[in-house]
Amino acid sequence: MGAAASLDWSTMRNEPVVQIQGLVKRYGTKTAVDGLDLTAGAGITAVLGPNGAGKTTTIETCEGYRKPDAGAVRVLGLDPVREAGALRPRIGVMLQSGGVYSGARADEMLRHVAKLHAEPLDVTDLIERLGLGSCGRTTYRRLSGGQQQRLALAMAVVGRPDLVFLDEPTAGLDPQARRATWDLVRDLRRDGVGVILTTHHMDEAEELADDVAIIDAGKVIAQGSPDELCRGGAENTLRFTGRPGLDVASLLKALPPDSTAAELMPGAYRVSGTVDPQLLATVTSWCAQHGVMPDRISVERHTLEDVFLELTGKELRG
């Protein structure tokens, strides 16, 4: 958090900050969460899913706002419903609605929340860091959407939680505020705070998360680090540029059996298949043997958005 607003939270632990086993939650005849299993360790866990997938219900159950119909939920080792009194002081919750009285001024609301905790962050420093200094005396209802988002984030972290739930923390923010929020989230991780992040921005999850859980139809359908999930998706593509008219058939013979090679336009070549260090070495070795100096070699990785769409489909959902 920097020298002015240094955090002194507990150090990272080995045990999970969130552990869910067989969670079921129904609303009448609709099953929102259907036997979901999820474990989140220290660091930043991004929970992704299309609309109606069950992620919001899952997070609200972890926060103690929903009671499970079946299954077990533990947050920091505690039951979020039965042991809410012990858990609430240890977690921070950022809600899209903000949880702020519409007539309250931004600074007075943040200072009120700070007084509810034994060792809060320095409110003035936090306001400055999140760019709220110019709107401190403005009532909540008169703040812009981005300012309301930043105030909600400040209220979630001001009490020095051990675990913070962030719901779409950069929704509606301009690029500068988005980057400032990313830096703050990274600082939370650095200081040993567990972060559960829900977002519709795949680049945000890929940039910040140590672990990603993708939820659909009330279940976790994939979980792993961004790199692991991207490696588990479609094969990557290697591209290089060189002189036109290279012997692509000769290059193909040097490549593994599952590979393809083509000259897409004069001097622009694409190699597809299982792109790993061995294949890259094979291509560069072939170029050296044939006196080819590639102008550029690039590996186009599968993105987290590609993986998300492959797993959950591309159709729009209400």
pLDDT tens figures, 64-94:
999 999 999 999 999 999 999 999 999 999 9
Amino acid at site 127: I
Of 25, 16, 15, the closest CA to residue 219 belongs to: 25
| Residue 224 sits in the same domain as residue 270 | no
Is there a single domain that holds both residue 28 and residue 125?
yes
CA 97/CA 139 separation, integer angstroms: 15
Q: What is the pLDDT of residues 35-75, one digit of tens each?
A: 999 999 999 999 999 999 999 999 999 999 999 999 999 99
* Residue 95, beta-bridge partner list: none
- Of the three residues 231, 260, 284, the one that is the final residue of a domain is 231
Instruction: Provide φ and ψ at 248, rounded to 5°.
Output: -65, -35
- Residue 70 contacts by C-beta under 8 Å, 6 or more apart in sequence? 22, 23, 24, 35
* pLDDT of the residue at 164: 97
pLDDT in tens, 109-121: 999 999 999 899 9
pLDDT at 29: 95
Domains in the chain, number: 2
Q: What is the CATH number of the domain that holds 141?
A: 3.40.50.300
User: Which runs of E-coded beta strand occur in 88-208?
Assistant: 91-94, 163-167, 194-198
**51 and 195 belong to one structural domain:** yes
Q: Would 4 be classed as within a structural domain?
A: no
- Report if residue 140 sits inside a domain: yes
What is the structure's pLDDT at 215?
Answer: 97
**Residue range(s) defining the domain that contains residue 107:** 18-231
Among the three residues 231, 258, 289, which one is the final residue of a domain in this structure? 231
Q: Are residues 256 and 114 in the same domain?
A: no
Q: What is the pLDDT of residue 232?
A: 54
pLDDT of residue 12: 43
**What does the pLDDT read at residue 316?**
65
Please list the ranges in the chain whose pLDDT falls under 70: 1-14, 96-99, 232-235, 316-318
| Domain final residue, candidates 231, 246, 271 | 231
Residue from 181, 212, 210, 187 nearest 198 by CA? 212
Other Cβ atoms within 10 Å of 294 Cβ, number: 16
What's the confidence (pLDDT) of residue 136?
79
Residues 273 and 160 occupy one common structural domain: no
Residue 203 within any structural domain of the chain: yes
